[in-house]
Structure 1
C-alpha cells in the first residue's frame, strides 16, 4: 500500500484564505507529489521512519522553498515488481489515470543484479519509463553500481562482464527517454563504514542524510519540470 508523507498545508491554506478559497483549492494549486518507486535503499530499510530518506528529502525540499507531498510506494524490490506496481496495482493505475502534478523517482535494479538476466532488467525498466513517458510524468532515474550480494557474486567469477553494462544501463535508459539521471544512489556513502548499517550495504540514518543532500539539486530540477508543463 502506498504510504503518503504530507508536508504542512498551513501555508497553502493561508494563501487560499486570502483569496477566499479556503477549503476549495483548485487542483492546479495542489502541492506537487513525488512518488518514490524503488527498493529498500530509497525506502530506508532498517532506518526509523523519522530519519528515513523520504522524511529527510521532504524536510530538505521544504527548507529550500519547495513544499511537496511524498508518496512512498513501499518496497517493490525488483524491476519486475516495480513494473507490476505501475501497470497492475490500483495505486499505479490511479497514477496513470491522474498523472498531473506528479513526478516519479525510479530507483530499481540493485535486487536484480546478478540474479536476473540483464536484458530482462533493462526491458522492465524500459517499460516503466515508457509508461511514465506516455503519461508525461517527469522522472528521475536513480542508478546503482553492483553492491552487496551482486558484488560478492561477481567477485566469485559469476558474470564478470556484467558489472559495467549493469551500471551503464541506467544512464542509457535515462537518455533514451529524456529523463533526469542520478547515477548512483549511494554516492558519497559507499566506502564509509560509519554511514552504513551492520550489513555494510544499506545506508544508516546519517548515510541517508548525505544521500538527500547530494540528490536534492536533482530533485529540485525534477520538480521544476512540473512547473514547465
Structure 2
C-alpha cells in the first residue's frame, strides 16, 4: 500500500495526554480507549477524516451504548514500525506504563511482503502481541489477505504458498496469545469496485462503512473486559 503519512504526532500527543491523566481518573469509571495500531487500511488513507474507519467505528459504538475514545497512532508502514512504536517510542512506552482501560486493534503486515520476509513479519507481530499480553491489554488481531504482488515475492521457505501462509499467520498468532481475531479487514469489500478507491485496493468511505458494520460485534467483544462498571 502507498505510504500516505507517517506517525501522527497530534494523535501521539493526544495519547500521551490521555495516558498522563489516567492517574487522575478512576479507570473503572472512564470510557475505554481503543488504540489503532496499523497501516493505511485502518487509517483510512484517501478518505476524509469525517468519513474514516475510526470516525464511523466511534459513532457505531456510541450508538450501541459504548462510549469510547479512539486514538489513531498514525500510519505505520510495516510490522517492524509497529513494534518500534510500541517498544521504543515514548507513547508506546506510556501505553505500557498505563495500560488500564485500554484495548488495542493490531492491523499490520500487509506492506511487509516487499520489505520483510514472512518469518520476520511473524516474529514482529508475535513480539507486539507478547508485549500487550504481558500488560494484560485486550487485543483484536485484524488480518488481511496478501496483496496480489506478494504472491511473486520470494519469502524464505514460503515461495509457493505465501498468500496462504500469510493469512494463516494471523489466526495462529491470535490463538497463541489468546487474542480475538478478525480474519480479513476488507471482508465484504474486496473485489467490489464501488467500495474501493481508484487504486482498487483501499476502501472508500462506503467501504469503510461496510467494514465497520461487519467488525462492530468483534470490537464490542474486545471492549467487554474494560467496560465501566
Calculate the TM-score normalised by the size of structure 1.
0.86
Aligned to 2:49: 49
CA–CA distance in 1 between the matches of 2:48 and 2:126?
Answer: 32
Alignment of 1:63-102 (within 5 A): 63-102=63-102
CA–CA distance in 2 between the matches of 1:228 and 1:67?
Answer: 10
Q: Which digits, 9 at most, give the CA deviation of each residue in 1:27-82, with x for residues without a partner?
A: 32111000000000000000000000000000000000000000110001100000
Q: Show structure 1 runs of 4+ deviating over 4 A.
A: 155-158
Alignment of 1:170-185 (within 5 A): 170-185=170-185
CA–CA distance in 1 between the matches of 2:212 and 2:74?
Answer: 18
CA–CA distance in 2 between the matches of 1:2 and 1:165?
Answer: 36
Aligned to 1:3: 11
CA–CA distance in 2 between the matches of 1:25 and 1:131?
Answer: 24
Aligned to 1:27: 27
Kept in 1, the 8 Å contact 2:150–2:162? The answer is no
Change (3 A) 1:196 1:57: same
Give the count of matched residue pairs: 208
CA–CA distance in 2 between the matches of 1:50 and 1:121?
Answer: 32
Change (3 A) 1:49 1:121: same
CA–CA distance in 2 between the matches of 1:63 and 1:106?
Answer: 23
SS at match of 2:173: helix
SS at match of 2:28: helix
SS at match of 1:29: coil
CA–CA distance in 1 between the matches of 2:166 and 2:174?
Answer: 14
Aligned to 2:17: none
Q: Which digits, 9 at most, give the CA deviation of each residue in 1:138-191, with x for residues without a partner?
A: 0000001112xxx12425888332111111000000000000000000000001
Structure 1 residue runs of 5 or longer lacking an equivalent are 7-23
Whether 1:154 aligns to 2:151 is yes
Kept in 1, the 8 Å contact 2:31–2:228? The answer is no
Change (3 A) 1:84 1:2: farther
Calculate the TM-score normalised by the size of structure 2.
0.86
Kept in 2, the 8 Å contact 1:2–1:71? The answer is no
CA–CA distance in 2 between the matches of 1:228 and 1:204?
Answer: 33
